[in-house]
């Protein structure tokens, strides 16, 4: 078996911040065990994450970032449109074009690998990058598939597919997920796979095929919260499965102030200013509000949220990216005087905020979140209870896990993805009164709120324990590296012994 320093892993994330951030974390964790790791992405996404990779290299980790050109304009995309968050707000056809351009990265990826002096021992592909499967098959490289939503979500989607539920129910018809370890109720609009939408049939089938032929599966989670769902998913697919997270709880990330502040991309505000502002607040008194890089609330819904935050009387930090692009939102904050009225207890970040820095501050006692899996794990790892506001895809399952299974969340009242709200509703599902009530329930002094806080702290301790030597996720990571090394050795031996007999037949 090769020594760890002789191993080379190539990681290929989807071009989306919610996928690249944990993939970079995984790259750092693998590199910290000795193997050389290369992250392959497009120029725009490389620029967003280069500081984190450079920091890891400065710390001595054998980590590289390789850029592959995206043929966006050839598929009808504007030059420089290379990430999912850049596509949001355009017509649905633009997303189809974006995926076509991403699928076209197969050629440049194969050229890059063929040009290496030595084949990588493994390619770790995002589950949303199934176009990597034929490349690995042609080159004889072991391939692992990494899922970036929760195991809860993946298992729920699998159960629905296996039982044909989506084929026989209407979009909003409620159902109980069959064959699931716990009771889970949803509808097609709230429990569906990333590619289970009209027009994406090929991509959906590609993803299923790529997972079925993978040499193993990775999840950014830990067995303390998802062991039941992980085991059920591994059994259903007959795949070796590793839980290597929560990556954000790794000591190399938690103890590095720069890594926390720059996680994902540089913040649009001075991190020191936010920390100073939080230092002046009482412990666990502040609500942090963020909807991630993709979710876009309508101006009407943002106005209801703003009124609810104001009426709550609680201090808050609000990362409001819409203020950079939406004139109606800027008018709400400025012309209508919202920011001026809450200036003594509200801090607005007009863009990207240093989320981990904020959540790890002792003044923060709650997180109003869209339930993206990265943010969910960050909250769980730092012991912060959640006010859940899911908007798309896997987020409704994250809400069910947080509220119904783990008992560390309070629902805002969202029922369906915003895209299904009638136009006359203007995207509003949660009123200012709903917001005020939910904040009081999450951050109040009632026994239920205290129990949530206690449970959140217990889970955070489990998350940290999973990532240290001897912990479940650390053990899974080291087992994964050994598995890949042995698999690569066997596959290389099989390929080398097959060549002479093939030549003899000529």
Looking at the structure, do residues 346 and 445 belong to the same domain, yes or no? Answer: yes
Residues 419 and 437 in one domain: yes
The label of the residue with tokens 């996720």 reads 473
Instruction: Say if 168 falls within a structural domain.
Output: no
Do 479 and 431 fall into the same domain? no
Is 171 contained in some domain? Answer: no
CATH number at residue 398: 3.40.50.2000
The pLDDT, as a whole number, for residue 264 is 55
Specify whether 227 is located in the same domain as 299: no
Q: How many domains does the chain have?
A: 2
Same domain, 44 and 112: yes
Classify residue 383: in a domain, yes or no.
yes
Say which of 19, 361, 370, 474 is annotated catalytic: 19
In this predicted structure, what is the pLDDT of residue 495? 60
Do 474 and 378 lie in a common domain?
no
Q: What is the pLDDT of residue 450?
A: 97
pLDDT, tens digit (0-9, with 9 covering 90-100), for 452-495: 999 999 999 999 999 999 999 999 999 999 999 999 888 876 66
What was the pLDDT predicted at 18?
A: 87
Predicted confidence at residue 324, as pLDDT, reads: 82
pLDDT at 393: 78
Q: What residues make up the domain containing 26?
A: 4-68+105-150+216-244+469-504
Residue 392 within a domain: yes
Residue 497 lies in a domain: yes
* pTM attached to this predicted model: 0.93
- Cβ atoms of residues 365 and 284 within 8 Å: yes
Choose, from 25, 126, 326, 476, the residue flagged as catalytic. 126
How confident is the model at residue 498, as a pLDDT?
42
Note whether 341 and 475 are same-domain residues. Answer: no
Q: Examine the residue annotation and report whether 19 is marked as an active-site residue of this protein.
A: yes
317 and 394 both lie in a single domain = yes
Task: Write the pLDDT tens digit of every residue in 66-90.
Answer: 999 999 999 999 999 999 989 987 8
Q: How far is CA 278 from the centre of its chain?
A: 26
Whether residues 451 and 325 share a domain: the answer is yes
Report pLDDT for 33: 96
Domain presence at residue 56: yes
344 is catalytic: no
* Pair 334, 227 in one domain: no
Low pLDDT (below 70) residues in the chain: 1-3, 5, 251-266, 493-506
pLDDT at 196: 87
Same domain, yes or no: 274 and 416: yes
- Run of H or E residues at 452: helix 447-467
Q: Residue 52 and residue 143: Cα distance in Å, rounded?
A: 25
């Amino acid at each position: 078996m090769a020594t760890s320093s002789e191993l080379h892993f190539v990681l290929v994330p989807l071009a989306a911040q919610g996928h690249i951030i944990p993939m970079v974390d995984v790259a750092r964790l693998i590199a910290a065990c000795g193997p050389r790791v290369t992250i392959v992405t497009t120029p725009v996404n490389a620029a967003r994450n280069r500081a984190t990779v450079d920091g890891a290299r400065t710390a001595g980790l054998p980590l590289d970032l390789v850029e592959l050109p995206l043929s966006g304009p050839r598929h009808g995309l504007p030059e420089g449109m290379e990430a999912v968050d850049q596509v949001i707000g355009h017509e649905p056809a633009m997303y189809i074009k974006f995926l076509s351009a991403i699928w076209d990265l197969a050629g440049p990826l194969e050229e890059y690998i063929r040009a290496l002096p030595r084949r990588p021992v493994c390619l770790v592909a995002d589950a949303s990058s199934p176009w990597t499967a034929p490349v690995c098959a042609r080159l004889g490289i072991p391939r692992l598939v990494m899922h970036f939503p929760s195991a809860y979500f993946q298992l729920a989607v699998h159960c629905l597919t296996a039982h044909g539920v989506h084929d026989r129910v209407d979009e909003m018809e409620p159902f109980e997920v069959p064959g699931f370890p716990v009771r889970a109720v949803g509808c097609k609009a709230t429990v569906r796979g990333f590619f289970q939408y009209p027009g994406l049939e090929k991509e959906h089938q590609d993803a299923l095929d790529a997972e079925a032929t993978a040499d193993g599966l990775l999840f950014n989670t830990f067995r303390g919260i998802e062991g039941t769902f992980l085991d059920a998913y591994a059994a259903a697919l007959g795949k070796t499965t590793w839980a290597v997270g929560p990556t954000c709880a790794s000591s190399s990330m938690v103890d590095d102030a720069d890594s926390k502040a720059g996680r994902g991309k540089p913040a649009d505000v001075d991190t020191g200013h936010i920390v100073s502002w939080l230092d002046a607040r009482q412990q666990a008194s502040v609500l942090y509000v963020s909807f991630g890089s993709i979710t876009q609330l309508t101006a009407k819904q943002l106005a209801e949220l703003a009124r609810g935050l104001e009426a709550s009387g609680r201090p808050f930090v609000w990362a409001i990216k819409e203020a950079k692009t939406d004139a109606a939102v800027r008018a709400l904050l400025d012309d209508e005087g919202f920011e001026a009225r809450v200036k003594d207890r509200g801090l607005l970040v007009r863009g990207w905020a240093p989320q981990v820095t904020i959540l790890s501050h002792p003044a923060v006692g709650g997180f109003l979140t869209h339930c993206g899996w990265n943010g969910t794990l960050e909250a769980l790892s730092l012991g912060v209870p959640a006010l859940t506001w899911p908007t798309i895809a896997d987020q409704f399952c994250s809400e069910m896990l947080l509220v119904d299974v783990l008992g560390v969340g309070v629902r805002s009242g969202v029922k369906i993805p915003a895209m299904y709200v009638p136009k006359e509703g203007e995207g509003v599902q949660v009123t200012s009164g709903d917001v005020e009530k939910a904040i009081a329930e999450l951050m109040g002094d009632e026994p239920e709120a205290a129990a949530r806080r206690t449970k959140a702290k217990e889970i955070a301790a489990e998350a940290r324990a999973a990532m240290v030597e001897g912990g479940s996720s650390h053990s899974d990571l080291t087992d994964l590296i050994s598995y890949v090394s042995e698999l690569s050795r066997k596959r290389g031996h099989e390929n080398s012994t097959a060549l002479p007999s093939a030549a003899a037949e000529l």
